[in-house]
Structure 1
């Protein structure tokens, strides 16, 4: 029923039985270009507004636009070569916004042209990915400076991968191709994916809560770091915006602590439940959430429940949605849900990490492999128990 409703014509659409529009690839290219243009305008306008708060005048409009373009590329996996070394760290909140825009563009083309699958969807996907990649490279050429050189190869690869996943998801979802693939898949794949999504949402929400509590516990440190950077309201607002954009990255680091391996801010700072090592870190107010002493904070110990809670949610969701099998079967599927949740958390830690320079700041974030394995182990056990108990209660 959902697939049928998704394919119904909207006002101004072609009839469902009509042939797909030959102009769908062109429309996809235009829609994808609009995402880049509107996104750059939004980020650039924010940068300009922040600079106008500076009584000294702040950066010129051209430099603010260049900064916005560099931030736009970083969000898509690009890198900058600064005087201090390579900067490769994607502000994931902006990455999510770009992905949402690209997905919406793909969905809009599918709805407007009434595409249902096959070659038309492949043509739309190819046009969207090609256009977005080309525009990202052009933006990289425009914002490249001697003091901040853009890695064009990373820009091309990162933007292509992001567009492939985002547009592919949007077109497959609205064309009914995703539903057809899930219906044809063996086993309770749809229920399994929903369980993993519920577990991931739980882990991310709890990780974000850990970050919020850590920041709230040291508001004085946040204010001190902001004052130490000097400037006026422009600097404070700019740092606040940057901190908000990096909140998903901080959440991935919190999940790393909860799982056990912890996270690093360069080679001199490591935070985990096994110990804390503090070294020199960038003067970013968001890093006020770091511990003030070498002692492991109580919050880190409390956060160790996050992987198990995420596994419990995933297992309970799976147990409720299974349409066949008993508690033993549900428990086995719950183990698989926990393993997949660990894989997704490892990928999350990977995309959230990066580099802030050479030497001591070459590595930032939670270790992806260790984090994924630790979450998989804990969530797999919890998921098996929750799925088995939920299924047993359903039969009872």
Structure 2
């Protein structure tokens, strides 16, 4: 899309190399609009199809489009004010899709305009962020209505933060700035970010495995909730899609259990290795993964190895990336730092995965970010230090 826009002639531009100062801004704006339009159309069509197949009639096209717009805003950490209270919970799978689109838009614009310095790169990122925030605010005004009032402040601040991170990442990947800045860092420091990412993906993948096992263990409960909510084929597909969008959130909650502090669904439902308290929860089939009794399930104890395994993967990745002159002691120290940063990244993930499903009993949903970060950082730090030191010792013969 960006390359196609770049080939179109612009008014007053006869020489392709003689680009106007506003050319990068115009291209970034067009690419950002394309991301939002394509994303909203795709999401809207999915909601319309599910509602059309509902034998009870479902929502009209206008209502389906409004639901799609609300999901789009929630995925970017926006908020809705329902009759039951504030709804602030980002379906992280959709969040990743939006971030990926914005990142590719900024990367494509950077590839075309070839900014010469950090200021020019920042201009591209700023244009993407400004246009995206404007579109989200306009969308919030459109979908606002009785029964679901939009929180304009959150619908502006959330998309701004997401667009800044995604567009900044995409623009930096295409520019020469990371290579220039990375050359000033010590060699081991350049190996830390990929190692932290490897450990985080490992921990998140293991968290997804824990959720999958928990849901499979209570397949009858999943089917019962699904039947109680409608039982039609369209309803089952819609619930399955909603559960898929929330899978990363569930994996983050599983990280809270694996770290020790656990997670909560409001004030009445708490799950951790220290105990289980069950209360009323939303009728969502994915919540069949919750324990059926007050006893701590065996799976919660088994999941305690997740932080250590994430640290082992991070430390091994770090040890393999270190220069040949790095010894085992140096590798172990950098591995300790890598594990601590892995805990910090896990805390951030847990924070963005949580939220609120209303007032009162469901005001807080998710794992505690600070406690989860400290616990994973301590466990992963030790494991990463050992793994990095052993990896370097083996490579040195």
TM-score tier by shorter-chain length is over 0.9
**Cα deviation 1:164-218 (Å, max 9, x = unaligned):** 1101110111012122222222342221111101101110111111111111111
Q: Does the CA-based 8 Å contact 1:339-1:376 persist in structure 2?
A: yes
| Structure 1 unaligned residues grouped into runs of 5+ | 1-10
2:303 corresponds to 1:303: yes
The residue correspondences of 1:1-396 to structure 2 (distance < 5 A) are 22=21, 23-230=23-230, 232-323=232-323, 324-396=325-397
CA distance, structure 2, for counterparts of residue 56 and residue 313 of structure 1: 50
CA distance, structure 2, for counterparts of residue 138 and residue 12 of structure 1: 29
SS of equivalent to 1:303: helix
Q: Does the CA-based 8 Å contact 1:327-1:392 persist in structure 2?
A: yes
| Structure 2 unaligned residues grouped into runs of 5+ | 1-5, 9-16
Q: Does the CA-based 8 Å contact 1:191-1:321 persist in structure 2?
A: yes
SS of equivalent to 2:357: coil
Give the C-alpha shift of residue 111 in structure 1. Answer: 1.4
Inter-CA distance 317–20: structure 2 relative to 1 (3 Å threshold)? farther
TM-score (normalised: structure 1): 0.94
TM-score (normalised: structure 2): 0.94
CA distance, structure 2, for counterparts of residue 220 and residue 117 of structure 1: 59
**Cα deviation 1:245-301 (Å, max 9, x = unaligned):** 000000000011001000001111111111111110000000000011111111111
Give the C-alpha shift of residue 27 in structure 1. Answer: 0.2
Inter-CA distance 332–215: structure 2 relative to 1 (3 Å threshold)? same
Q: Does the CA-based 8 Å contact 2:92-2:249 persist in structure 1?
A: yes
CA distance, structure 2, for counterparts of residue 142 and residue 75 of structure 1: 17
Give the C-alpha shift of residue 112 in structure 1. Answer: 1.7
Q: Does the CA-based 8 Å contact 1:20-1:120 persist in structure 2?
A: no
Alignment partner, residue 6 of structure 1: none
SS of equivalent to 2:355: coil
Give the C-alpha shift of residue 19 in structure 1. Answer: 7.2
Alignment partner, residue 4 of structure 1: none
Root-mean-square deviation over aligned CA pairs: 1.6
Inter-CA distance 21–209: structure 2 relative to 1 (3 Å threshold)? farther
CA distance, structure 2, for counterparts of residue 62 and residue 36 of structure 1: 18
Q: How many residues align?
A: 383
- Report the more deviating stretch, 158-167 or 321-330: 321-330
Q: Does the CA-based 8 Å contact 2:118-2:177 persist in structure 1?
A: no
CA distance, structure 1, for counterparts of residue 116 and residue 396 of structure 2: 39
CA distance, structure 1, for counterparts of residue 151 and residue 245 of structure 2: 21
